[in-house]
Amino acid sequence: MNFLKKYWQEILLGFITLSYIVYFSLFSILRYRTLYAHYFDLGIMHQTVYNTFMSLKTGDFTRFLELTNPHGFDQVKRMAIHNDIFLAFLAPLYFVYSGPETLLILQTVVIALGAIAVYGISKIVFNKTHNVRLISLFFSFAYLMYPPLQRMNQFDFHAVALATPLLLFMFYCYLNKRYVISFLCAGMVLLTKEQVGLTLAFFGFFVLFQNWLQIRRRVCNKRELLFAGILVMMGLGWFLISMMQIIPHFRHGVHFALGYFGDFGDSPLNVFLGLIKNPLLVFQYVFRKDTYDYLYNILGPIGFLSFLSPLHLLIAAPEFAINLLSESGAMRNIYFHYTAVITPFVFISALYGFRFLRTYTWIFVTLLTVCTIYFSATTSPLPYSSGREVLPFTSPKADITDIYVWKEKLQDEQIKVMATGSLAPLFSSRRYLYNFSERYDLADYIVLSREEVYNGYESFKMIVPYEKLVNDVKYSNIYKNGSFEVYKKL
C-alpha cells in the first residue's frame, strides 16, 4: 500500500499509456483489415520495409529500400520519394511478423512512450513546484489525448511519426546533460525524413543561444556548446545533402514536394531566395485564414500555453514554415502526419509557458484540463468525439471476405499486382505493387473496387483506365462479386 500511495502518479501514467497503446493498436490494425487504410501511405511504406526484409532474408540487396514508384511504373529506391531511411532499421522486426500490423503496432507503442518523456521533462521544469508529479501527470495525459497526435497515429504509418517521441527524449536527455544519448536520439530523428534536419539545427541554435546568455554571466558549458554545434552542422548538412544530392540522385530530378512551393522557386536554393525576395507573398501565405484554424487546432488542446514560451516553440519554426508556405492544404490540417515534428515543441513550450504561471498553478491546471477535454470531444478520432473515426468498428467494407480469399490466392510475392487504393495495403507484401492506373498492362493480376474507381480518392484518374480494362481482350475478368473485381492477364 505504501508503494501505491507513493507512486500512484507513475502507476496511473503507466495505465493511461497502456490504454492508449491497446486502443490505437487495435484501431489501426482493424482500420487496415477493414480496408480503410490506403496505398498512400500504408501500402508504399509496408512494401518498402517488406522488400528490405526480403533483401536481408534472401541476400538479394537490390531490394533494399525498394518499392514500386507511386508516381510512375518502375522500381525505385525509397530515397527517390523521401529520405526516410529509418525504414531500413525496422525491417529486422519482420522476422517476427512480416505484415503491416508490425508497423502499426510499433508506431503506436513508440508514440505512446512519448508520454513518459513529457512526464520526465515536466518533472525537471517544475522540480521546485509543489505537486510536481501531479502536474507532470496532467501534461502526459494531455499529450496522449492530443488530437493531432492521435490522428497522426491512426493515419496509416510514417517513419516521421516516430520523430515525435524521439525529439521529446532528445530534449529530456539534453536537460539531464546526457548529451551522448540526446545525440543518439537526434541521429535517429534525422533518418525519419529529410527536412527534420532543419528543426534539429534550430534546436542547436536554441542551445547556443542559451549558452550565450550564460556566457554573458561568465558561465560556460563547453560540452553543451560542442553538442549544439554538432547538431547545427549535422542538421543543416543532412538537409542540404538530402535535398541537393541524395534525392536528386535517386529521383533523377528535384524533390517532388518542391512543386508545393512553386511561387517561390523550383529548387531548394531558388525557394530560399524566393522567400527573401517576396516578403509580401510570404506574408499573404502565412496570414491566410486556414493558418488561424491550423494554429487553433494545434495550440488549443494545450490551452495556448505555448505562446508564453515562444523561444521553445520557435525551435519548430522550419516545420511551421514548410507547412504554412506550402500550396498543399493537407499540410495545414491535423488529419495527417505533418504535425509530427511540431508536436514535441508545442508541449515543451507549453511546459515552460506554464512555469511562468506557477503562482496560479491550479487555475491553469484546470484550464489545461478543460481545453484537453474540449478539443478531445470535438476534434479527436475517439468514439465519443464529434469528429469520431469509428467506421472500422461499425461499417467494414462490403465483399471483404472475397478480398481476403484473393489475398491468399495471390500470396506469391513475385506476382505483379495492381490494386485500387484501399485494397493495395492487403496486397503490398510483394516486390511489385502498382497503384491502379492506365498502365495496368504491367500487372499479372488486377484487383479493384468498382465503387472506389468511380467514387474514391482521385477517381478521375481511374475511370478511363477501368473502362478500357473492361474491354481489353488481353485481360480476363476471372472474378466479380458486388463491387470487387479481379482481372488476369492472358
For residues 102-107, average pLDDT: 98
What pLDDT is stored for residue 211 in this prediction?
87
For residues 92-110, average pLDDT: 98
d(CA 472, CA 466): 10
What pLDDT is stored for residue 216 in this prediction?
67
Give the residue from 437, 321, 342, 434 showing the smallest Cα distance to 148.
342
What pLDDT is stored for residue 6 in this prediction?
78
Map out the domains of the chain as residue ranges: 2-36+99-379, 400-489
* Span 166-186, pLDDT tens digits: 999 999 999 999 999 999 999
Least confident window among 157-161, 280-284, 355-359: 355-359
18's grid cell: 497502456
Partner residues linked to 100 by β-bridges = none
pTM for this one? 0.95
Q: Report whether pLDDT(354) > 80.
A: yes
Mean residue pLDDT of the chain comes to 94
Is the separation of the CB atoms in 107 and 90 below 8 Å?
no
Give the residue from 434, 456, 452 showing the smallest Cα distance to 443.
434
User: What region does 265 belong to: left with phi over 0, alpha with psi -120 to 50, or beta?
Assistant: left
d(CA 96, CA 265): 46
d(CA 316, CA 439): 41
Is the separation of the CB atoms in 302 and 347 below 8 Å?
yes
What pLDDT is stored for residue 399 in this prediction?
81
Specify the pairing of strand 445-449 against strand 417-419.
parallel
Is the separation of the CB atoms in 182 and 227 below 8 Å?
yes
Half-sphere exposure of residue 429: CA atoms within 13 angstroms, side-chain side: 16
Q: Report whether pLDDT(398) > 80.
A: no
Residue 45 phi, psi dihedral angles, 5° rounding: -65, -45
d(CA 457, CA 398): 18
23's grid cell: 486502443
* Span 60-80, pLDDT tens digits: 999 999 999 998 889 999 999
For residues 249-274, average pLDDT: 91
Q: Report whether pLDDT(43) > 80.
A: yes
Name, in order, each residue with C-beta under 8 angstroms of 410's C-beta and a sequence gap of 6 or more. 417, 427, 445, 447
Cis peptide before 41 (omega within 30 of 0): yes
For residues 127-131, average pLDDT: 83
* Span 196-213, pLDDT tens digits: 999 999 999 999 999 887
Is the separation of the CB atoms in 475 and 468 below 8 Å?
no
Q: Report whether pLDDT(380) > 90.
A: yes
Least confident window among 130-134, 193-197, 375-379: 130-134
Q: Report whether pLDDT(360) > 70.
A: no
* Span 213-227, pLDDT tens digits: 777 666 677 899 999
